[in-house]
Structure 1
């Protein structure tokens, strides 16, 4: 399956993902799949589609700031903290509890944190009157945002698949 599907594999030893989150896990399984009640519970606790929509609102908001619009809520010291968004609060809270054992969860967290860091950099450059560097930071925001959305969509596909798929039998359960 796809690149991101291979990233959402639980570690066999149950430990947290390694700091080197850029490498693929050794597992050859191809998709994040949470079965039946676990998938339903997670989907009830967090609407991933709504999170994607809310996250995607950041880019037009930042683009307006880049174009000269001022918004008191867009302050670098606030935006740099990824828990200023609903997605960030979920990632640091119940999302970590439910999905923190998947190595790609840390990648999602880091991409989301990087997005917020770059948004703060953009706003700092704007405040300093450095339009060129602000535009460069905006491009970094766009790239990080696309990665966050791709990871969330892959997570959504895995959860949807888990709701429809029966749990596979272990060897010798026939």
Structure 2
């Protein structure tokens, strides 16, 4: 049973039913897509690439904490979620395709928070606050990263991949 299935009650329906699969009292829906629509979305975004990129950022930040410079990472751009591959999709074609699902807004919010926490790690590091940078990386950054990855995997599962 998927993450969103545990949050919302599913109403049984026949294959030809035009009704929502969700109990009306829930007023919500999961990212469950018909096969043709899922195929279209799969050509627009590679979820595995988005997951890999977000997981790679943690390694880059850790290497910086270990003393390796990475001038490409700047706090003022890192905090802007719409600048990465996933963020551009979430704020463009992804919003157009999936914006009606409450789970999509949750993913956008978690993704935004992830970037804020990544920028906080970098800002602490640049200020010479290595302990704060490490605590943020191991705490709120790691938690937000995990949440984004879980939501992306749920989206991928909903796309039938």
Task: Tell me the equivalent position of 1:158.
Answer: 158
Matches within 5 A, 1:7-22: none
CA distance in 2 between counterparts of 1:54 and 1:28 reads 30
The count of residues paired between Structure 1 and Structure 2 equals 145
Unaligned runs of 5+ in 1: 10-24, 162-174
CA distance in 2 between counterparts of 1:89 and 1:7 reads 28
Structure 1 residue 28: deviation in Å? 8.1
Matches within 5 A, 1:42-61: 42-61=41-60
Unaligned runs of 5+ in 2: 10-24
Structure 1 residue 32: deviation in Å? 2.7
> Is residue 48–residue 152 contact of structure 1 (8 Å, CA) maintained in 2?
yes
CA distance in 1 between counterparts of 2:28 and 2:155 reads 17
CA distance in 2 between counterparts of 1:28 and 1:99 reads 13
Task: Tell me the equivalent position of 1:131.
Answer: 130
CA distance in 1 between counterparts of 2:79 and 2:7 reads 26
Task: Tell me the equivalent position of 2:19.
Answer: none
Structure 1 residue 41: deviation in Å? 0.5
Using structure 2 for the length normalisation, give the TM-score.
0.82
Tell me: higher relative CO, structure 1 or 2? Use CA pairs within 8 A at least 6 residues apart.
Answer: 1
Instruction: List 4+ stretches of structure 1 deviating above 6 A.
Output: none
Task: Tell me the equivalent position of 2:35.
Answer: 36
